[in-house]
Amino acid sequence: MKRVVVLISGRGSNLQALLRAARIERWRETLNADIVHVISNRPQAPGLAVAREAGVSTEVVDHRAFPSRAAFDAALATAIEAHAPFLVVLAGFMRVLTRDFVQRFNGRLINIHPSLLPAFPGLATHRQALAAGVRFHGATVHFVSVELDGGPIIGQAVVPVRLDDTEESLAARVLQAEHRLLPTCVRLLLEGRVRLQADRVAADVDVAQQLALAAL
């Protein structure tokens, strides 16, 4: 079975979208895949309850308990490897990972970021988009690389920016797009139709077309 481990730090809405897709699309039967474990670096993350309600095992690796970023990443990597993952999904995981960690999971570590990368990496992406006056914003799923938010792009969802948008209203619409984007990209990876090859994304399918179908 292709085992998926999800890392979270907060409410777990993207985790919930993944769990919903796994259930509705019957990943276990159709893809021989399943979400097997959820890890949070924050003990009080609401997403842990989301996982438990879905019958998925959970674990906390609290970054505050470690003397350095490297020590935390080493413990996190050990916790992940215990579940022999095919894929590790950062779904709102708010930690910058070290080079050793990223290289250890190279090609099977993906992240969802709330902007159309390479525009607006880092934090406060909706504020950055509004300040820049862009007319389109969105979300990106990408392979994680050593460069922050700079890994090869798997797929993107575009959201128009309205003239009356606030950070809150724009964030809400981007989040809806994320909930379609992330499960679609994960499914394509599990199917083997998208993969990392020589530091570039190789695909046997039109990812944009698959995202359009998911939005119907």
Q: Across 121-163, where does the E strand assignment appear?
A: 136-143, 153-160
**Residue 37: which of 14, 60, 21, 20 has the closest Cα?**
60
Please give the Cα distance from 129 to 134 (Å, whole number). 6
For residue 197, the 8-state DSSP code is E
Tell me the backbone φ, ψ of residue 30, rounded to 5 degrees. -85, -30
- Cα separation, 98 vs 84, in Å, equals 20
Backbone angles phi, psi at 99, to 5 degrees: -55, -45
Whether the CB-CB separation of 104 and 77 falls below 8 Å is answered with yes
Task: Given the residues 37, 63, 83, 113, select the one marked as catalytic.
Answer: 113
CB 167 within 8 A of CB 127: yes
**Catalytic-residue membership of 113:** yes
End-to-end CA distance of the chain: 29
Cα separations (Å) of 100 from 48, 76, 116? 26, 12, 26
- Residues annotated as catalytic are 113
